[in-house]
Each structure stands twice: as C-alpha cells, then as structure tokens.
C-alpha cells in the first residue's frame, strides 16, 4: 500500500503535464451518475510497449498494481481484450484482482465466474496447423519475420522486417492461405505490423466488448464502458461503444475513437490519475 502511494505522488507532476491525459481523466470524471465504470483495454501496444519478440512482453509492475487497485474498487470492473490466447494474456498481465480476459479477439472470454468459447473455434484447428507448418517453411528465410502459432490462430509478425521482406511475407501468406480465404474457412486480419489468420467466424473485439458489457450489467446494473486500443482491430470495439461510453486510441494511428493518448506511458499516467477519482 505504501509503495503505491509513493509512486502516485512521484508521478503526479508527469501525469498532469500531458493535456491529453488530463482531458481523458476529466471525461471519466464526467461519466453519467450511477453507472459502473467498465474499464476495457487492449494489451500489446496499449498497456505494454511492443518488443521485438511478442513472447517477451509482460505487463509492467507499476501498471499491474494500478489495474489491480482499480479492479478492486467497488464501482469498477476491468477487462483485457487481446488477439493473444486467453491463458497467454492472463499470464502476461499477472493481475491478482478478478478481471475479464478476452483472448483471440474475443473468441474466448473468461472472468467474474463467467466464460465463453465460440462454438466454432475448434473446427478449423487441424487445417490451421497444416497451414502454419507451410508458412513457417517459407517465412523462416525472411529476416525480421516471425510466425507465432497460437494453436487456434496464427500471427505473422513483420515489425522488425525490412519493407521488402514485409512485402514478401505478405505475398507468401496470400499464396498459402489465399485458397482457404476464398473458401471462407479462414479470414485474414491485417494489423499494423502483423498479419493474423483466424477461423472465419464473424466475431471481433466489438463482440467481445458487447459480451463483457452484457455480463457486467447483468451482475451490477448499468455500466459506462471505456475502451483503449492501439490497433486497427480495436476499431470494432470503438464502434461497439460509440457514444455510450469513452473510446481512446493509443498512438498516432487514424481512428474513430473520441480521444487519443500518445502511448503506453500516457496510459499509465491516465490510470494513475484515475486512482485519485472517487470510483
């Protein structure tokens, strides 16, 4: 407890120095009375800085403490929404307080005693593993391109690749996966520096947000959702919330979100300021 208040004091000037942080704090302060704060966030690039290897990304301790503190407030529910597998997300967040986790863009959700797995998730696993092996054989020659096999989905990371290798990776993915896209077995989700191949189930982070909100409102009454995210795939979540809550894009990407924070450190400053609000 003592260390949390020390950190809060130490970081307060920094938090108030960013007008975007101050505006986003004020927006939460102005939320409609009697609504539970439902704080939903993407993970990579939003709560955590990107790292060359996605497997080396973990939630920073100070941010974990802030989210735990907020999640323990009686008027707050916290949820994380990610393209990662649910169990991977849970382990990397390391939160102790009960929160919602939505993995695979919401195809699997758990939290608060509730859980959800889309009924069609297991259908395509075998074929996807065949495709993953084929992709790996072709992509392993390209410097800076990494294949991440998530069992039910496959991600091709190109953040560290040269523009030429990035374009070549895209061509390889289209060649290997293309026929299955045409048959609508899989769909391709192109992110900022990652291409993700998922079972073609019409389900997005927007569906995840709606599912979690409905579950929270069933338990606690009306909620006021806030969603933070940095990637193209977070736009579905922004759309699901619209003007019924607060949407915050992280980084400089073009977005339909109502507000913007510059990066994970600004998100941390915002979370720290939220702990000063009566919630």
d(CA 183, CA 75): 46
Smaller CB separation from Mg ion, 231 or 268 = 231
Q: Which of 39, 64, 27, 82 is nearest to 227 (CA)?
A: 39
Show the site string, 236-275: x = touches Mg ion by CB under 5 A, - = not: ----------------------------------------
Enumerate the H helices of the chain as residue ranges.
Answer: 2-16, 19-29, 61-71, 86-93, 125-139, 163-182, 205-220, 235-241, 264-274
Active-site hit among 42, 44, 215, 231: 42
Question: Measured from the CB of residue 77, what is the shortest distance to Mg ion in angstroms?
Answer: 20
Question: Measured from the CB of residue 2, what is the shortest distance to Mg ion in angstroms?
Answer: 33
Task: Output DSSP code: residue 106.
Answer: G
Query: 44 with 84: CB under 8 angstroms?
Result: yes
Show the site string, 37-56: x = touches Mg ion by CB under 5 A, - = not: -----x-xx-----------
Question: Measured from the CB of residue 218, what is the shortest distance to Mg ion in angstroms?
Answer: 28
Smaller CB separation from Mg ion, 59 or 176 = 59
Which residue number has the CB closest to Mg ion?
45
42 is catalytic: yes
Q: Interacting stretch for Mg ion, rule CB under 5 A, among 15-23, 35-43, 54-62, 70-78?
A: 35-43
Contact between 168 and Mg ion by CB under 5 A: the answer reads: no
Total chain residues near Mg ion (CB under 5 A): 5
Q: Which of 42, 102, 71, 74 is nearest to 233 (CA)?
A: 42
Question: Measured from the CB of residue 49, what is the shortest distance to Mg ion in angstroms?
Answer: 11
CA distances from 198 to 149, 204, 206, 231 (A): 11, 11, 16, 16
Smaller CB separation from Mg ion, 148 or 231 = 231
Residues 198-237 that bind Mg ion (CB under 5 A): 230-231
Smaller CB separation from Mg ion, 59 or 172 = 59
For 271, the token pair is 């979370």
d(CA 157, CA 71): 32
Strand order in 100-103's β-sheet?
114-117, 108-111, 100-103, 76-81, 36-41, 223-229, 246-250, 259-261
Show the site string, 118-147: x = touches Mg ion by CB under 5 A, - = not: ------------------------------
**Which residues contribute to the site for Mg ion (CB under 5 A)?**
42, 44-45, 230-231
Catalytic residues: 42
């Amino acid at each position: 407890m003592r260390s949390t208040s020390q950190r809060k004091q130490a970081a307060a000037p920094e938090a108030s120095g960013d007008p975007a942080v101050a505006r986003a704090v004020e927006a939460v302060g102005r939320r409609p009375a009697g609504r539970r704060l439902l704080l939903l966030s993407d993970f990579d690039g939003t709560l955590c800085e990107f790292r060359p290897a996605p497997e080396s990304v973990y939630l920073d301790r100070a941010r974990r403490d802030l989210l735990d503190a907020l999640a323990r407030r009686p008027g707050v529910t916290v949820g994380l929404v990610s393209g990662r597998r649910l169990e991977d997300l849970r382990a990397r967040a390391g939160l102790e307080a009960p929160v919602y986790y939505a993995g695979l863009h919401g195809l699997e959700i758990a939290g608060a005693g509730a859980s959800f797995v889309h009924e069609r998730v297991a259908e395509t696993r075998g074929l996807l593993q065949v495709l993953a092996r084929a992709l790996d054989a072709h992509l392993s020659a390209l410097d800076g391109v990494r294949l991440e096999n998530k069992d039910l989905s496959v991600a091709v990371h190109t953040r560290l690749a040269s523009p030429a290798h990035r374009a070549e990776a895209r061509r390889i993915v289209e060649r290997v996966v293309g026929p299955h896209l045409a048959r609508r077995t899989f769909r391709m989700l192109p992110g900022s520096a990652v291409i993700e191949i998922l079972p073609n189930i019409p389900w997005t982070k927007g569906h995840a947000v709606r599912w979690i909100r409905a579950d929270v409102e069933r338990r606690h009454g009306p909620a006021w959702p806030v969603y933070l995210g940095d990637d193209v795939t977070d736009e579905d979540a922004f759309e699901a919330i619209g003007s019924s809550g607060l949407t915050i894009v992280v980084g400089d990407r073009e977005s339909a979100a109502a507000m913007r924070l510059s990066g994970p450190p600004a998100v941390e400053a915002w979370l720290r300021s939220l702990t000063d609000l009566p919630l």
